[in-house]
Amino acid sequence: MKELVPVLVGLPLGAAFLVAILAHVRGGARLTGALATLAVAANLALGIGLWAAAAGQDQPGAKSAVWTVWAGRWDGQTELDQATGQQRTRPIGIQLVWDGLSRFMVIVVSFVAFAVIVFSGAYMRRFTTVWLFHTLFLLMTGAMIGVVLAGDLFNLYVFIEVAAMASYGLVAFGTEREELEAAFKYLVLGVVASSFILVGIAILYSLTGQLNMARVAAALGELGTSPAVLLAAGCLLGGLALKAAMVPFHSWLPDAHPSAPAPISAMLSGLLIKTVGVYAIARLVFGVLGVHAVYANVLIALGVSSMVVGMLLALGQWDLKRLLAYSSISQAGYMILALGVAASLLPHNRALAGLCAFGALFHLFNHAAFKSLLFLCSGSIEQATGTRQLREMGGLVRRMPVTGWCCRIGALSIAGVPPFNGFFSKIIIIVALALAGRVVLCGIAAAVAVGTLLMYVKVQRYALDGQPGPRVAAARESHWAMGAGMAILAAVCLLAGVALSVGPLKEHLLGPAGEALLGGAKLASGVAMGGGQ
Amino acid sequence: MKGMTSIVRDVTRLVAGVVMVYGVYVSCTGHLTPGGGFAGGVIIMAGVVMLVLAFGGERANELLAESRCHVLDGSGALAFALVALLGFFAGGFFVNFLPRGRVHQLVSGGMILPANLAISLKVAAGLIGIFLALVLATRQPSSQE
Amino acid sequence: MGIAIYMLTFLLLLIGVYALVAKKNLVRIIMGIAILEYAVNLLLVLVGYRRDGTPPILPRGQTAAELAARAVDPLPQALVLTSIVIGLSVTALAVALAVRLYDKYGTFDMNDIRNLRG
């Protein structure tokens, strides 16, 4: 059963190339959308199945099941060397890790990807060469799942690169002037980030001689925070912070995300920054580099600056998609801040660190849901009315009820209004910060939450309520497929708040994720060194 | 784009075949000497690039249309995925299931040889597609209708 | 010899970053990307260097244990192969974007291609 874990990556990648072949076969070009939707749905089903199988092996308390899969069976086991008759270990292999955190992330990625591809079935009809979109979309989804499953540093880097390259192509998809320019800027900054990540990996390899994350963590445990390790960590964290669009490395996001077509913006903002950025930073700091105070403070600084700057820049925006993009920076800041505080608390107060990590991961899930929902709504609005400017909209709730109500649900969720999901994750983070004694951070987080509320009240007032503008009066409701995609995410926003805070989903989905994050290297190293499972 | 003079065309006609055979050789002996799938694919592509430069882009497009490159590209990738998935019969993902043979023989190393051939097909087709797309790019309207 | 070559590699990396940051012509920026990629790959290969080492290829008549004792580290070379492929793809994509941008704007100058604001 655990050998099926690599299929989670292989299925979207194989389907991507199948789409490429199918599109050039006679009559196949119309089927690519169906094939892509089928592939993503199958991946989601497989992910849920494997999650259920692993969750069945969870023990109550902090011990969640960890499966490790070695590609090609090149595992770290000791074996008898035929020539010399001695025991030796084969330490070089690609390890895929299926622990609580990767289970959680795979579910998030597959689910949002499914909603987006359902939406895009109708939205992408305005483009020619739609098969290219499906190929790149499947490549990006497969690569993001690969990032989440990766158990060694270089595999992580390769999948980050594949996802990034697919996203460069997708941002430029419409080949309008804006999109090309935004894609070029995004590409250049992405290449700088990737190069620094690779430099960091090179330095870590030269220091420890290992690439497997668990073994590097063990080797770094002895090295501590020598200047070389700090240099490597600086390069890695700098590159990943650029990918996650943290302030001061955020300048590519406000151009790239609004210019892309709406389903792509949803995938980029809701998923790509989270997996390639926030997840990779979390995995590295907790699992590889170790929770030293230096890294925790860096994360806290990045988180606070992103939260504040993102919110301030978003408040003045009148372009809906640009506002959503800046607000993504701000919400990602919440997650990094909570992770940083968890890292600083981990040595002394594990329970409180667990609460911070729980809040961060919960917010990651929620943000994927409501930000993708908001971007899909903006796409639907743009297709119906032809504008992205808030001042030209108005009264959308009456003219386009499905889109309008989904947009309202998304806006209320991100603003943190109960009973939607944003409220729960934000209150957990703020309470955890207060309990940790970080009163200043708690105050800043609460202030940013109020600012977010203001910005989305503005969105609702200008876009959803009020008198219909001339463009809105001529608008009609969107295709049912677009409505279905939005409705799926809106339902998640409505239900996930309660469903993930208490009950079986917390026990088996979110709880093990937090535990796996905090367990970090220790949890996986036991499996990497001695026993495979 | 136009081709080049007749001297260039005649010499290229002689040399390009040798270059492409050399590319196939490099990708076949990837498990014995430096090289392998990627390097072999790039050398094959270099042979085709020589032909395109000598004979002109339109003639190349008649012989190897860009859509054919997409199909070959995808087939190479799917062949590689097939090699990986066939490992399931031997116990896991990507397990080397073919007999290993002896060191230094051409047919040795299990599935490394088929994997190298698949990769070289994909790389060659993909790079030729990229080259043809860039060479034949004309001023097009945006893909939005 | 040891530290000087790493310094030179870092210098190459900084030259690449400088070209990316300070140049206005799109083609020069793409060349900066290429130089940056070269520098990072060079650094990665140098990590595996061993003094008086042989290439990590098994010639006839040598056992694996002897090779392991004398050869340079092959793992960074495998990493660099992958990295070269990634760099090639990114450069190809950047060139394609630059060609399309030239179609739209008629120029390669970054200062004229500044439509997005705010």
Confidence at residue B110, expressed as pLDDT on a 0 to 100 scale = 73
* pLDDT > 70? residue A377: yes
| Highest mean pLDDT of the ranges A65-69, A201-205, A504-508 | A201-205
* pLDDT > 70? residue A80: no
- Residues in chain C with CB shorter than 8 Å from the CB of A194 are 86
Domain ranges of chain C: 2-105
How far, in Å, CA of A153 to CA of A148, rounded?
12
Q: Which chain C residue is nearest to residue A164, measuring alpha carbons?
A: C90
Q: Which residue has the higher pLDDT, A87 or A470?
A: A470
Task: Give the DSSP H/E element, type plus range, for residue B53.
Answer: helix B37-55
A429 and A356 Cβ atoms separated by less than 8 Å: yes
User: Binning pLDDT at 50, 70 and 90, where does residue B124 land?
Assistant: very high
Q: Which of residues 246-285 of A touch B (CB under 8 A)?
A: none
- Residues in chain C with CB shorter than 8 Å from the CB of B36 are 81
Residue A222, classified by CB atoms within 10 Å of its CB into exposed (0-12), middle (13-18) or buried (19+), is: exposed
pLDDT tens track for A26-42: 777 778 888 888 899 99
Q: Which of residues 40-99 of C touch A (CB under 8 A)?
A: 40, 43-44, 47, 63-65, 75-76, 79, 82-83, 86, 89-90, 93-94, 97-98
- CA atoms in the 13 A half-sphere facing the CB of A86: 5
Q: What is the mean pLDDT of residues A358-383?
A: 89
- To the nearest whole angstrom, how far is the Cα of C56 from the nearest Cα of chain A? 16
Q: What is the mean pLDDT of residues B35-54?
A: 89
B94 vs A72, A126, A128: nearest CB: A72
How far, in Å, CA of A295 to CA of A316, rounded?
32
Whether C15 has its CB under 8 Å from any CB of chain A: the answer is no
- Residues in chain A with CB shorter than 8 Å from the CB of C64 are 83
* pLDDT > 60? residue A79: no
Q: What is the mean pLDDT of residues A133-153?
A: 91
Q: What is the mean pLDDT of residues B97-107?
A: 70
The CA–CA distances, whole Å, from A87 to A75, A83, A90, A212 equal: 14, 11, 10, 21
Q: Which chain C residue is nearest to residue B102, measuring alpha carbons?
A: C60
Average pLDDT over chain A, rounded to an integer: 83
User: Binning pLDDT at 50, 70 and 90, where does residue A531 land?
Assistant: very low
Whether A86 has its CB under 8 Å from any CB of chain C: the answer is no
| A269 closest CA partner among A179, A145, A368, A194 | A368
- Residues in chain B with CB shorter than 8 Å from the CB of A126 are 144-145
Average pLDDT over chain C, rounded to an integer: 85
* pLDDT > 70? residue B1: no
B21 and B40 Cβ atoms separated by less than 8 Å: no
CB pair distance less than 8 Å for A24 and B87: no
- To the nearest whole angstrom, how far is the Cα of A216 from the nearest Cα of chain C? 15
Confidence at residue A142, expressed as pLDDT on a 0 to 100 scale = 94
> Token pair for residue B15?
């040399």
Q: Which of residues 123-182 of A touch B (CB under 8 A)?
A: 126-129, 173-176
> Token pair for residue A488?
């799926």
How far, in Å, CA of A234 to CA of A295, rounded?
9
CB pair distance less than 8 Å for A17 and B74: yes
Whether B84 has its CB under 8 Å from any CB of chain A: the answer is yes
Q: Which chain B residue is nearest to residue C74, measuring alpha carbons?
A: B34
> Token pair for residue A442?
């708690």
How far, in Å, CA of A95 to CA of A110, rounded?
21
B103 vs C58, C95, C103: nearest CB: C58
Confidence at residue B143, expressed as pLDDT on a 0 to 100 scale = 45
Taking every pair of Cα atoms in chain C, the longest distance, rounded to a whole number of angstroms, is 67
Confidence at residue A197, expressed as pLDDT on a 0 to 100 scale = 94
* pLDDT > 70? residue A72: no
- Residues in chain C with CB shorter than 8 Å from the CB of A92 are 75
How many CB atoms neighbour CB A78 within 10 A? 12
- Residues in chain A with CB shorter than 8 Å from the CB of B94 are 6, 71-72
Q: What is the mean pLDDT of residues A228-256?
A: 88
B34 vs C57, C60, C92: nearest CB: C57
- To the nearest whole angstrom, how far is the Cα of B103 from the nearest Cα of chain C? 9
pTM, two decimals, is: 0.91
- Residues in chain C with CB shorter than 8 Å from the CB of A161 are 86, 90
CB pair distance less than 8 Å for C96 and B140: no
CB pair distance less than 8 Å for A72 and B144: no
Amino acid (one-letter) located at A207 = L
CB pair distance less than 8 Å for C105 and A206: no
| Highest mean pLDDT of the ranges A131-145, A208-222, A500-514 | A131-145
How many CB atoms neighbour CB A115 within 10 A? 29
Neighbors of chain A with 3 or more C-beta pairs under 8 Å:
B, C
* pLDDT > 70? residue A99: yes
Q: Which residue has the higher pLDDT, C68 or C28?
A: C28
Q: Strands A95-98 and A67-70: what pairing? A: antiparallel
CB pair distance less than 8 Å for B38 and C81: yes
Q: Which residue has the higher pLDDT, B2 or A231?
A: A231
Residue B53, classified by CB atoms within 10 Å of its CB into exposed (0-12), middle (13-18) or buried (19+), is: middle
Confidence at residue C117, expressed as pLDDT on a 0 to 100 scale = 53
CB pair distance less than 8 Å for A191 and C113: no
Residue A118, classified by CB atoms within 10 Å of its CB into exposed (0-12), middle (13-18) or buried (19+), is: buried
- Residues in chain B with CB shorter than 8 Å from the CB of C54 are none
Q: What is the mean pLDDT of residues A43-59?
A: 82
Confidence at residue A532, expressed as pLDDT on a 0 to 100 scale = 39
CB pair distance less than 8 Å for C96 and B33: no
CB pair distance less than 8 Å for B145 and A128: yes
> Token pair for residue B94?
């990507």
**Tokens 């008086």 label which residue?**
C52
Q: Which chain C residue is nearest to residue A204, measuring alpha carbons?
A: C47
CB pair distance less than 8 Å for C99 and B137: yes
Strand, coil or helix: A68: strand
Nearest-10 crossing angle of helices A439-459, A293-315: 30
Strand, coil or helix: C71: strand
How far, in Å, CA of A116 to CA of A263, rounded?
6
> Would you give the DSSP letter of residue A468?
P
User: Binning pLDDT at 50, 70 and 90, where does residue C40 land?
Assistant: very high
Indicate which of C41, C45, C81 best probes the interface with B, i.e. most B CBs within 10 Å of its own CB. Answer: C81
How far, in Å, CA of A41 to CA of A118, rounded?
10
* pLDDT > 50? residue C72: yes
Q: Which chain A residue is nearest to residue C110, measuring alpha carbons?
A: A181
pLDDT tens track for A182-220: 899 899 999 999 999 999 999 999 888 878 888 888 888
Q: Which residue has the higher pLDDT, A179 or A42?
A: A42
User: Binning pLDDT at 50, 70 and 90, where does residue C73 land?
Assistant: confident
How far, in Å, CA of B32 to CA of B37, rounded?
12
Strand, coil or helix: A319: strand
CB pair distance less than 8 Å for B104 and C60: yes
CB pair distance less than 8 Å for B134 and C103: no
* pLDDT > 90? residue A227: no
Q: What is the mean pLDDT of residues B102-112?
A: 73
Helix boundaries (H) for A252-349: 253-259, 262-267, 280-282, 293-315, 320-345
A228 and A219 Cβ atoms separated by less than 8 Å: no
Confidence at residue A63, expressed as pLDDT on a 0 to 100 scale = 58
Q: Residues of chain A with pLDDT > 90: what percent?
A: 18
The contacts of residue C43 (CB under 8 Å, 6+ apart) are A199, A202, C6, C9, C10, C13
- Residues in chain A with CB shorter than 8 Å from the CB of B77 are 13-14, 17
* pLDDT > 80? residue B101: no
B130 vs C60, C81, C92: nearest CB: C92
Q: What is the mean pLDDT of residues A64-69?
A: 72
A510 and A49 Cβ atoms separated by less than 8 Å: no
- Residues in chain B with CB shorter than 8 Å from the CB of C96 are 130, 133-134
> Token pair for residue B8?
């260039």
CB pair distance less than 8 Å for A20 and B96: no
CB pair distance less than 8 Å for C92 and B140: no
Backbone conformation region of residue A469, classed left if phi is above 0, alpha if psi is from -120 to 50, else beta: beta
CB pair distance less than 8 Å for B81 and A14: yes
How far, in Å, CA of A328 to CA of A269, rounded?
7
A173 and A261 Cβ atoms separated by less than 8 Å: yes
- Residues in chain A with CB shorter than 8 Å from the CB of C118 are 254, 317, 319, 322
Confidence at residue A124, expressed as pLDDT on a 0 to 100 scale = 81
pLDDT tens track for A433-490: 888 888 888 888 889 888 888 888 888 888 877 777 777 777 777 777 788 888 888 8
| C69 closest CA partner among C88, C86, C82, C50 | C50
- To the nearest whole angstrom, how far is the Cα of A84 from the nearest Cα of chain C? 10
pLDDT tens track for A407-446: 888 888 888 888 788 888 888 888 888 888 888 888 888 8
Confidence at residue A390, expressed as pLDDT on a 0 to 100 scale = 79
Confidence at residue A343, expressed as pLDDT on a 0 to 100 scale = 87
> Would you give the DSSP letter of residue A150?
B
Q: What is the mean pLDDT of residues B46-62?
A: 83
The CA–CA distances, whole Å, from B58 to B47, B52, B96, C65 equal: 17, 9, 43, 55
Confidence at residue B144, expressed as pLDDT on a 0 to 100 scale = 42
Amino acid (one-letter) located at B49 = V
Q: Which chain B residue is nearest to residue C85, measuring alpha carbons?
A: B38
**Which of 1.10.405, 3.40.190, 3.30.460, 1.10.287 is the CATH number of C2-105?**
1.10.287
* pLDDT > 70? residue A339: yes
User: What sign results for the dihedral spanned by CA atoms C77, C80, C84, C86?
Assistant: positive
> Token pair for residue A254?
């406000």
A457 and A390 Cβ atoms separated by less than 8 Å: no
| C69 closest CA partner among C44, C51, C81, C45 | C51
CA A298 to chain centre: 20
- The CB-based long-range contact list for C100-107 (8 Å cut-off, 24+ gap) reads C100/A172, C100/A175, C100/A180, C100/B137, C101/A177, C101/A180, C101/A181, C101/A184, C101/C26, C102/C26, C103/B137, C103/B139, C103/B140, C104/A177, C104/A180, C105/A177
Q: Which residue has the higher pLDDT, A416 or A3?
A: A416
A20 and B68 Cβ atoms separated by less than 8 Å: no
| A146 closest CA partner among A157, A133, A131 | A157
* pLDDT > 80? residue C59: no
